[in-house]
Amino acid sequence: MSELAFAGVVELARRVRAREVSAREVTDAFLARIDEHDGAIGSYLVVDHDGARARADQLDLEVAAGKDPGPLAGVPIGVKDVIVTEGLTTTAGSRILDGWVPPYDATAVARLRAAGAVILGKLNCDEFAMGSSNERSAWKPCTNPWDTSRVPGGSSGGSAAAVAAGLAAATLGTDTGGSIRQPAAFCGVVGLKPTYGRVSRWGAIAFASSLDQIGPMARSVGDAARVLEVIAGVDRRDSTSIDQPAPQLEPSLAAGVSGLRVGLPKEFFEGAALDGEVAAAVRAAADALAAAGATLKDVSLPHTKYALPAYYVVAPAEAASNLARYDGVRYGHRAPARELGDMYAQSRAQGFGPEVKRRIMIGTYALRAGYYDAYYKKAQQVRALIKRDFDQALEEVDVLLAPVAPTPAFGLGEKATPIDMYLADVFTLSCNLAGIPGLALPVGNASSGLPIGAQLLGRALDEATLVRAGAVIEAAFGTRRPPGPWGAP
């Protein structure tokens, strides 16, 4: 039954509901692949063998009784370790939460379960979602199934690698500055970052609250759309949740792009940082859209060059505020009041890794008295200009097409300095600052064999247009499996 690993979300759910295959058979097939192959990849931190099998058996009983388990019936899904899961260890990739077992599910996870999904386990990620390579996990590195000497991207590297290697039919990731789209591009899968507020953040361990967004990763645009339809929608427990119903995306998959106006932001194609093969692949995706009836137009996002510095003021400032709760009192050992001061310092020093501490220090500095106006306030003003750029460009066109990352996946340990690592996100950050949706999908392979991804960016709450254009690009370029045992059925 190992061929089930690449059947896809929509197809697996159809087959389970039609009783062509049991949810238990599907779950066992994925668990067997995880046990056999994940040791070389490291995409999972926790695998819930017993819980997944029990859930699959329950679903099979429902199907046998004539009940419809839901649109994700029997679909095995992995969840990034920054999203809480009832009864299943959640650490946010950090030693400071070692052994924490949440007593509740995040809203997105609860909606997956209600739709019939089987949760396989928790996926590796950069600590507290701070990183672009998954090398900042406190537990173990995660590698790219296309080349295990390369990174899978970050911070949702485990989520992307698991889908690419057939170790989950779909996964949940989070995108704060590109952490769904960049690993999707590096691993040759589809990643969908919804509009900010489209999916509830309740139960997502916060990094930067005004930027974080939960979204799906899958092997196809249709599969990602199916998962987003399930997890989206208003949630009264999340004050940033948008009071709109979940989108109906399936009709957009066959809508075509005739008459669609596609913008090519010149700032994303300029400069020596963009690899020539990446630029050519994205241009080929544009040509595919034009051949299908879309109109191409050059547009400008003039404040794009300020996205990187603005993001690395706003995000660390919010992180410094959010992570102050991990102070050794609520999380860590209990002690008499006279000892709490020392324990606070010890828990922070021993619990957080270097990247998290770096961002806390940067954020604390930016927020301190006398510096707030010079740094945080100024960054928020730049953020408003970036959003205005997108609003104006998306009045001229319906969707934007751009590279996801300057290069294909880089080598483990290759980015020697934090600045080198931050530059890997240069094309993805502005989407988060503006709060708009983005869809990353594969558009070919470099001469090295590594996948190349493009991203579609659209108006707020208009994921349907991204899916519409993405389906056409996918039809032109197809889906791919990595070489070696991870791509074999």
Residues forming the active site: 80, 155, 179
HSE-CB for 219 with a 13 A CA cutoff:
24
List of residues 6+ apart from 300 with CB closer than 8 A: 265, 266, 267, 389, 393
Q: Name the β-bridge partners of 402.
A: 455
Which of 266, 251, 311, 271 lies closest to 130 in space, CA to CA?
311
Give the 3-state secondary structure of 326-365: CCCCCCCCCCCHHHHHHHHHHHHHHHCCHHHHHHHHHHHH
Which of 69, 104, 68, 72 lies closest to 86 in space, CA to CA?
104
CA angle 448, 451, 456 (to 5 degrees): 145
Give the C-alpha separation, 47 to 53, whole Å.
11
Rounded-to-10 torsion of CA 446, 448, 450, 454: -20
Residue 392 CA, distance from chain mean position: 27
Give the C-alpha separation, 275 to 216, whole Å.
27
Give the C-alpha separation, 202 to 423, whole Å.
30
Determine which helix (DSSP H) or strand (DSSP E) holds 162, and give its type and residue range. Answer: helix 157-164
Structure tokens at 279: 């630029």
Contact 196, 103 (CB under 8 A): no
Q: Could you tell me if residue 129 is left (phi over 0), alpha (psi between -120 and 50 degrees) or otherwise beta?
A: left
Do the bridges between strand 295-299 and strand 438-445 make them parallel or antiparallel, or are there none, so unpaired? unpaired
Contact 56, 77 (CB under 8 A): no
Give the C-alpha separation, 46 to 456, whole Å.
32
Give the C-alpha separation, 261 to 298, whole Å.
10
Tokens 């241009």 locate to 283
What's the distance, Cα to Cα, between the start and end of the chain in Å?
A: 9
Single-letter amino acid, residue 399: V
Q: Is 193 helix (H, G, I), strand (E, B) or coil?
A: strand
How is residue 488 annotated by DSSP? -
Give the C-alpha separation, 463 to 246, whole Å.
11
Residue 238 CA, distance from chain mean position: 19
